[in-house]
Structure 1
Amino acid sequence: MKDSLAMPDGKWSAGSLRIASRTMSVGDISEVLGIEPDRSYERGSLISPRDPDSRRRDSTVWIRTSGLANDRWLDEHLAVLVRLLDGRQEALGRLAGDCEVDLFLGFGSESQGGCVLPAALLKEIGLLGIDVVLDLYPPSPDDAEEDYLFTPSSTPTPRSDPPHPPTDPPAPPAH
Structure 2
Amino acid sequence: MNDVRDLAVIRRAVASDLDAVNDMHARCSAETRRARYHGQRDRIRRGEWTALCDPPFGFSALVTVERRTVGLVNVIGTDPAALWEAGLLIEDAWQGRGLGTRAAAYLVWEARAAGACGIEALVEADNARGKRVFTRLGAEWSREEPGTLTARVRFSVPAAVSSGPAPSRPPMGACR
Bigger radius of gyration among the two: 1
> TM-score scaled to structure 1, two decimals?
0.29
> TM-score scaled to structure 2, two decimals?
0.29
RCO comparison, higher one (Cα < 8 Å, 6+): 1
Q: Whose helix proportion is higher, 1 or 2?
A: 2
Q: Whose strand proportion is higher, 1 or 2?
A: 2
